C-alpha cells in the first residue's frame, strides 16, 4: 500500500443486503427460481435448490453481484450464474460509492474477512454479521490505480482459469502464468511493485539461518525436528517426524519454529518449500532447512509461500546452487536473492485465487 491509498470504513462506501428467510416448504430440486445458499457460493454458477413460492424482486441476484457467506468460512464471491434468489445467511454488497470499484473490493476483501473469521468464537459454527463487514477499514487507492490493478488481475486469472480447464497440473500452470504476470508487471513498473532483497523482507526475529547440524539419535518423547526428507507437501504435520533431545533443540534458538513458518530446503533439493503447521511451534529443523517468517507489513506469510515457489525466485536459487554429490546454497547467497513484491492488497487477491486452485 502506498501513501496515496486512503483507509475508509466500508460502511461509508457500500451497503450490505442480507438474504431473506425463504420458506423451506417451497424448496425443491427442479421447480421455480434457483436459490443461493452458502454451499452454492464456491462454484458461483448454479444451485441445487429451487424455490417455487412468491418472492420480492429485490432479492434477485444477477451475474457479477458480490456475495458473502456469513456462516462457517467467511468469503466474498462473484456470482456467475443465472438470476437466483438471495437466501438467508448470504448477503450481497451493493450501493457502491463511485470512489470504490466493486471488482477491486472483490480482489482485496477476503483477507479481511479471513482475519475476522480467525478471531470469531463459536459453539457449532462461526457467524459473520453485516456490521462486521461494514466496519472493515479498507485501503482505497485512486480510481485509475484501482482499475489498473483490476485489469492486471482479471487478465492473470482469466489465464489461470483457462489453464485449470485444460490440464491436470492446475497449480503448476497457474504458477507459470503468475510468474509471467509477476515479471511483466515488474518490468512495466506496475503500480506499487518493488524489488527487495530477501534479507530485507523477513521480520526482525527471522535470522535466515541453518538448523541443527547433528540432531543425534531418536529421543523418545522429545522435540520434533523437520528434515529435508520431510518436505514435499504444502504443510508439514507433527505425525511421523523424528524426535530429538529438547536440550539440543533449545540450543538452536535462532531456528526454533513458531508455527506457520515457511521451511526452505537449502541442502539436497534446493528450493523445495513447505509450511510448518501451527502445532510445530517450539520444534526445530536440521542443517538443510532455513525457516522463514516475513515482515507482515511487507509480505503476507501465505503469499510468501507462492512467491518462494515461483520461477522468479526458484531460478535465482538454482543459479546459486552448487555441488555435485550434494546440492546446496550458501546462506549469504540466499539472503541476497531478489523478490518482486506487490502491494498487500494484490498479495491478498493472488493468494486467495491460488488457494482456490488447491495450492
- Work out the average pLDDT over 191-207: 90
What is the three-state SS of the chain?
CCCCCEEEEHHHCCEEEECECCCHHHEECCCCEEEECHHHCCCCCCCCCEECCCCCHHHEECCCCEEEECECCCEEEECCCCCEEEECCEEEEECCCCCCCHHHHHHHCHHHHHHHHHCCCCCCCCECCHHHHHCCEEEECCHHHHHHHHHHHHHHHHHHHHHHHHCCCHHHHHHHHHHHHHHHHHHCCCCCCEEEEHHHCECCCCCCCCCECCCCCCCCCCEEEECHHHCCCCEECCCCCEEECHHHHHCCHHHCCCCCCEEEECECCCCCEEEECHHHCCCEEECCEEEECECCCCCCHHHHHHHHHCHHHHHHHHHHCECCCCCECCHHHHHCCEEEECCHHHHHHHHHHHHHCCC
The reported pTM is 0.55
pLDDT at 91 over 90: yes
What residue ranges define each of the domains in the chain, with the CATH number in brackets?
Answer: 6-140 (3.90.220.20), 200-341 (3.90.220.20)
pLDDT tens readout for residues 252-309? 999 999 999 999 999 988 999 999 999 999 999 999 999 999 999 999 999 999 889 8
pLDDT tens readout for residues 124-167? 678 899 999 999 999 999 999 999 889 888 887 777 666 655 55
pLDDT tens readout for residues 16-60? 999 999 998 899 988 999 999 988 898 888 888 899 999 999 999
Amino acid at each position: 500500500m502506498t501513501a496515496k491509498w486512503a483507509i475508509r470504513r466500508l460502511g461509508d462506501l457500500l451497503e450490505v443486503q442480507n438474504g431473506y428467510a425463504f420458506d423451506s416448504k417451497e424448496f425443491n430440486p427442479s421447480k421455480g427460481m434457483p436459490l443461493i445458499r452458502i454451499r452454492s457460493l464456491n462454484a458461483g454458477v448454479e444451485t441445487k435448490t429451487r424455490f417455487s413460492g412468491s418472492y420480492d424482486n429485490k432479492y434477485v441476484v444477477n451475474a457479477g453481484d458480490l456475495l458473502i457467506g456469513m456462516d462457517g468460512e467467511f468469503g466474498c464471491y462473484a456470482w456467475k450464474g443465472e438470476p437466483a434468489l438471495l437466501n438467508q445467511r448470504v448477503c450481497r454488497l451493493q450501493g457502491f460509492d463511485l470512489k470504490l470499484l466493486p471488482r477491486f473490493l472483490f480482489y482485496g476483501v477476503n483477507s479481511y474477512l479471513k482475519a475476522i473469521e480467525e478471531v470469531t468464537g463459536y459453539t457449532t459454527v462461526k457467524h459473520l454479521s453485516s456490521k462486521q463487514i461494514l466496519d472493515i477499514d479498507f485501503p482505497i487507492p485512486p480510481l485509475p490505480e484501482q482499475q489498473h490493478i483490476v485489469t492486471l488481475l482479471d487478465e492473470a486469472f482469466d489465464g489461470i482459469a483457462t489453464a485449470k480447464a485444460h490440464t491436470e497440473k492446475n497449480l503448476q500452470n497457474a504458477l507459470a502464468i503468475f510468474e509471467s504476470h509477476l515479471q511483466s508487471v515488474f518490468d512495466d513498473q506496475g503500480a506499487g511493485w518493488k524489488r527487495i532483497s530477501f534479507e530485507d523482507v523477513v521480520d526482525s526475529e527471522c535470522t535466515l539461518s541453518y538448523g541443527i547440524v547433528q540432531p543425534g539419535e531418536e529421543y523418545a518423547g522429545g522435540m520434533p525436528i523437520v528434515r529435508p526428507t520431510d518436505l514435499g507437501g504444502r504443510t508439514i504435520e507433527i505425525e511421523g517426524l523424528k524426535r530429538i533431545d529438547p536440550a539440543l533443540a533449545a540450543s538452536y534458538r535462532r531456528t526454533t519454529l513458531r508455527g506457520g513458518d515457511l521451511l526452505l530446503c537449502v541442502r539436497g533439493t534446493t528450493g523445495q518449500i513447505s509450511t510448518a503447521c501451527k502445532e510445530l511451534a517450539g520444534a526445530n529443523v536440521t542443517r538443510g532447512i532455513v525457516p522463514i517468517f516475513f515482515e507482515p507489513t511487507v509480505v503476507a506469510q501465505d503469499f510468501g509461500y507462492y512467491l518462494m515457489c515461483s520461477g522468479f525466485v526458484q531460478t535465482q536459487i538454482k543459479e546459486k546452487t552448487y555441488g555435485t554429490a550434494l546440492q546446496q546454497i550458501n546462506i549469504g547467497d540466499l539472503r541476497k536473492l531478489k523478490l518482486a513484491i506487490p502491494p498487500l492488497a494484490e498479495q491478498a487477491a493472488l493468494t486467495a485465487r491460488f488457494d482456490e486452485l488447491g495450492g
